[in-house]
Every structure is written in structure tokens, then in C-alpha cells.
Amino acid sequence: MEKIKKILIPEADIKARVRELGAEISRDYAGKAVTLICILNGASVFFADLVRELDLDVRFEFMSVSSYGSGTVTSGEVKILKDVNYPIEGKNVIIVEDIIDSGCTLSYLKRLLEQRNPASIRVCTILDKPSRRKVDFKGEYVGFEIPDEFVIGYGLDYDGKYRNLKDVCVLELTED
């Protein structure tokens, strides 16, 4: 069983930070076209908010990935469940993710997409748990660094639930 322990990042703080990230990205890519890749399902809520803060020529793409097993595969190889619809060669790509935890998913995905010769590729995540890294990985745009706690809400789930919560909350797993 699980229960919501506390609010870690309230809705108002998320909104303010997303606005800042949008302004920063808009400045960095001024005058350029950008292909934003939303990593489903977790980044969907952040993506929808972020794109509306961008004053840029943007295209949307969606990818769905799943990690192989849980902890058993140290390579951090991920399975592509859904790929982008259009080639990213020569495009300025920004991968939009919900959270960087071990770093395995994004380091694999970024390397995979780099092989397709985009003009540039960066990562934007709303949450980052740097203390949990298994591989060295840094996102260029990070909303909040958070402690090593399991969080839900604002797109993040536990067992498929809680993605619709407006705040980022800490989940507590109980015995029964």
C-alpha cells in the first residue's frame, strides 16, 4: 500500500519554474527552429506546460521508452516502444523528460538520438535526483533538484496512478 506523505513542490512553484525554463530556452534558441521530444508518459504534463512558455518555432515529437528489467541490466539499455515520426537529422532537438534518476534512460536515449545527426541535442527535465546517479549524466535545463525520495504528481506515477496531481508529492510505501 502507499500514501501521500507530503507536498514537495507546490503547483505555484512549478508554474513559476516552468516559466523561467521557457524563457531561458527561448533566449538560447532565439531565431532557431526546435524539435521538442516528449518522453511519454511521465513528461506529458510538463511538456504541455513548457511548450506554451516557448517563444520559438517548435515541432512536437513523442517517444515512449521502457527500461529493461529493474536494476538487473547495468548497461541501462532501454527499449523503444514508440519512436519519433519524422527524422531529426539537422534539427535542434530538446528531449523533455520528467525526472533524471539513475541517468540510465537519458544517457542511452541521448546517445541513440545523437547517432541520427541532429544539429544539436539537449535535455530538459522538470526534476533531478543527482544523488541517485548510476551513470554520469547532466541535463542542460533542470527545474528542481530533489532529494532521494519517490515522488508522484505532475506527470509522475506510482503503478500508473497519480499523474494528474497538480503538486509534486512524496509517496510513502507502507506495509499493508
- Least Å distance, CB 48 to ligand IMP, is 17
Q: Which stretch binds ligand IMP (CB under 6 A): 14-22, 51-59, 116-124, 150-158?
A: 150-158
The whole-angstrom separation of Cα 49 and Cα 15 is 8
Residues touching ligand IMP: how many (CB under 6 A)?
Answer: 14
3-state secondary structure of 142: strand
21 binds, among Mg ion, ligand IMP, none (CB under 5 to 8 A by kind): none
Residues 89-148 within binding reach of ligand IMP (CB under 6 A)? 97-105
- Least Å distance, CB 119 to ligand IMP, is 25
Residues 153-172 within binding reach of ligand IMP (CB under 6 A)? 156
Q: Name the catalytic one among 98, 101, 128, 167.
A: 101
49 makes contact with ligand IMP (CB under 6 A) = no
Find the angle CA(164)-CA(170)-CA(172) to the nearest 5 degrees: 110
The whole-angstrom separation of Cα 151 and Cα 153 is 7
| b/e 127-141 (16+ beta carbons within 10 angstroms → b) | bbbeeebeeebebeb
The whole-angstrom separation of Cα 142 and Cα 163 is 20
Q: In terms of CB distance, is 93 or 99 closer to Mg ion? A: 99
Among 22, 42, 118, 153, binds ligand IMP (CB under 6 A): 42
Q: Quick check: is 167 catalytic? A: no
Residue pair 158/2 in contact (Cβ under 8 Å)? The answer is yes
Contact set with Mg ion (CB under 5 A): 42, 98
Handedness of CA 81, 85, 90, 96 (dihedral sign): negative
Closest-CB residue for Mg ion? 42
Q: Which residues are catalytic?
A: 101
Q: Which residues bind ligand IMP (CB under 6 A)?
A: 42, 97-105, 150-152, 156
